[in-house]
Amino acid sequence: MREKQPAAAPLAEDHAKASWAEAKASAVLVLADGTVFEGIGFGATGHAVGEVCFNTAMTGYQEILTDPSYAGQIITFTFPHIGNVGTNDDDIETVNMAATPGARGVVLHTAITPPSNYRARRHLDQWLKTRGVIGLSGIDTRALTSRIRVKGMPNAVIAHEPSGRFDLDALKREAREWPGLVGMDLVPMVTSGQRFTWDETPWEWGKGYGRQERPRFHVVAIDYGIKRNILRQLAGKGCRVTVVPAQTSSADILALEPDGVFLSNGPGDPAATGAYAVPVIRDIIDKGIPTFGICLGHQMLGIAVGAKTVKMHQGHHGANHPVKDLRTGKVEITSMNHGFAVDSATVFGAVPPGSVPRPARQSLSVPALRRDDAATEETHLTLIVPRHLPLSYCGRSICGKCRLRLQPAAKNFHQLPTRCRIRQPVLLAAVNSALASIGLLSLVKEGPWQRKGMRLTTD
């Protein structure tokens, strides 16, 4: 007699077939050139337009997704295991929680796995839903990354619809018509609405975040989209930090009597934001206040001293970028996030390494800078630069105070006779770096000006 099959067998067979069935696409990434990537959606539903970049970091995805500098962008993670440690309330970089959350979308290779970390408070999928960020998984991120490396960062629309029904023609049109980040000022979307102070210090194992109770310096941070960890680092170094909105006037900043001014990171085109930010930065530099910047702030500082910025082909986004100091040979692994850069061709002295022949380097004589402590006398500084320095460097302003310019001289050299006290330590450091890049020793040595931030003196 034939034995009867268990009733559960057909169900097991159906389950096996279902496990091999290809899931229906519920999300798409539509590039401006018409290319469509299909995958499985997660996070918020709807659609968003932005510029697609790739990030090579293996960790820190929550910090990346809340970095205001990513406003207007869709992030493709090259590392496959994103979401495996969940999300928490400590790893958020956004200061202004009422502002734009940062990235407009996220693209992953592998579906998000359940979180496995003692700090996890929420699944990444749920966290993205609450922040309104659209996600797409299951696509070939290596192919997308290669495409970006070859063709540059494309404009695109990311869309998530559980039913899988999309108007691809409309999405292609939206991606094609979006103007892109060049010329776009996104800072108003992410900056703070009012002035505030910051005293939280970096996280420590077993202690969490601390407080700066005995600050030695007062730093004013201009918020173009600042990150929390930058503020924590400043506080941890002994600074009392006052954060001001992006469009704060130089008069209001100077009234706070800062020991230094920090220009923060932020999204968008530095030339566009610089329309109102650069005049403020120039005023601060002209007052002799130590000024430095990161990301967008660094780029606008470059504009303020006469350089220009350019859109990068693929940008630098990740936590593992090797950078070599050409003067020392030391290589450091750095964290980067920028799609614009200061154009080296517009920076005085920034010539490619090795472009100055070694014999010429060795035969150069550099006049010493005379000490001048008398207020009634002038400091005379002469910079001698090889004649074969590209002529495009002539006419570049190197002093934000008096707008001194490099002028051609006879025969084999360019000469710059300078009759002023350069009062900006930041610019002095830039001049030193420029001289080092063309093989000359630094003219500016340690002296009282470093402590006062005022007068250049040296032996």
| Mean pLDDT of the 36-50 span | 97
**Residue 411: other Cβ atoms inside 10 A:** 5
Q: What sign has the CA pseudo-torsion 110, 114, 120, 125?
A: positive
Structure confidence at residue 16 (pLDDT) = 53
Structure tokens given for 229: 């960890």
> What confidence score (pLDDT) does residue 416 get?
36
List of long-range contacts for 390-399, beta carbons under 8 Å, 24+ apart = 390/351, 392/345, 393/348, 393/349, 393/351, 396/306, 396/346, 396/347, 396/348, 397/305, 397/306, 397/348, 398/305, 398/306, 398/348, 398/427, 398/430, 398/431, 398/434, 399/424, 399/427
The overall average pLDDT reported for the chain is: 78
Every domain range in the chain assigned CATH 3.50.30.20: 22-180
163 pLDDT exceeds 80? yes
Please enumerate, as own/partner, the contacts of 430-434 that have beta carbons within 8 Å and a separation of 24 or more: 430/305, 430/348, 430/398, 431/348, 431/349, 431/383, 431/398, 433/349, 434/347, 434/348, 434/349, 434/350, 434/398
Bridge partner residues of 27 (DSSP): 39, 160
Examine the pLDDT at 455 and tell me if it is beyond 50.
no
Q: Which helix (H) or strand (E) holds 74?
A: strand 73-77
What percent of the chain is predicted at pLDDT more than 70?
70
Range name among 60-69, 87-96, 202-211, 369-378 with the lowest pLDDT average? 369-378
Q: Mean per-residue pLDDT for 119-138?
A: 95
The architecture (CATH level 2) of 188-346 comes to 3-Layer(aba) Sandwich (3.40)
Answer with the residue of higher pLDDT: 379 or 134.
134
* pLDDT at res. 436: 46
For residue 330, pLDDT over 60 is answered with yes
Contact, 399 vs 422, CB < 8 A? yes
Q: Is the pLDDT of residue 172 over 50?
A: yes
Give the model's pLDDT for residue 388.
36
Confidence grade of residue 362 (pLDDT, cut at 50, 70, 90): very low
CB of 309 within 8 A of CB of 271? yes
- Distance CA(153)–CA(148), nearest Å, equals 5
What is the pLDDT averaged over residues 279-288?
94
- Dihedral pair phi/psi, residue 70, rounded to 5°: -90, 5
Question: What integer pLDDT is reported at residue 327 of this predicted model?
Answer: 78
Is the pLDDT reported for residue 182 higher than 90? yes
Between 101 and 201, the higher pLDDT residue = 201
Check: CATH 3.50.30.20 for 22-180? Answer: yes
pLDDT of residue 20: 63
pLDDT on residue 96:
80
Contact criterion met (CB below 8 Å) for 55 and 339: no
pLDDT tens-digit series, residues 44-99: 999 999 999 999 999 999 999 999 999 999 999 999 999 999 999 999 999 987 77
195 — pLDDT class (breaks 50, 70, 90): very high
Length of the chain: 459
* pLDDT of the residue at 422: 38
Distance from C-alpha of 444 to C-alpha of 442, rounded to nearest angstrom: 6
Once rounded to an integer, what is the mean pLDDT over residues 420-435?
Answer: 42
Percent of the residues in the chain that have a pLDDT greater than 90, as a whole number: 62
Q: Looking at residues 154-167, what average pLDDT do you find?
A: 97
State the span(s) of the chain assigned CATH 3.40.50.880: 188-346
Joined together, the tokens standing for residue 141 give 């991120």
Residue 24 has pLDDT above 90, yes or no: no
Return the closest-CA partner of residue 317 out of 111, 128, 40, 51.
Answer: 51
**Cα(337)–Cα(215) distance, integer angstroms:** 29
CB contact at 8 A, 277 and 300: yes
Pairwise pLDDT comparison (394 vs 153), residue with the higher score: 153
Question: Could you tell me whether strands 413-419 and 380-386 are parallel, antiparallel, or unpaired per DSSP bridges?
Answer: antiparallel
Neighbouring C-alpha atoms within 13 Å toward the C-beta of 441: 10
Burial class (CB in 10 A: 0-12, 13-18, 19+), 362: exposed
* Residue 445 confidence (pLDDT): 36
pLDDT in tens, 294-310: 999 999 999 998 899 99
* Tokens encoding 118: 């003692």
Band of residue 425 on the pLDDT scale cut at 50, 70, 90? very low
pLDDT score of 4 more than 90: no
pLDDT of residue 13: 57
Which residues, listed in sequence order, are joined to residue 257 by a DSSP beta bridge? none
Helices vs. strands in the chain: H and E counts, helices first: 13, 19
Give SS3 for 334. strand
pLDDT at 370: 29
Q: Collect all residues with Cβ–Cβ distance below 8 Å to 379 and sequence separation of at least 6.
A: 369, 370, 372, 418, 419, 420, 421, 422, 455, 456, 457
Question: Who has greater pLDDT, 370 or 168?
Answer: 168
pLDDT at 328: 82
8 A C-beta contact, residue 234 and residue 219: yes
- pLDDT of residue 395 exceeding 50, the answer is no
**pLDDT of 284 above 50:** yes
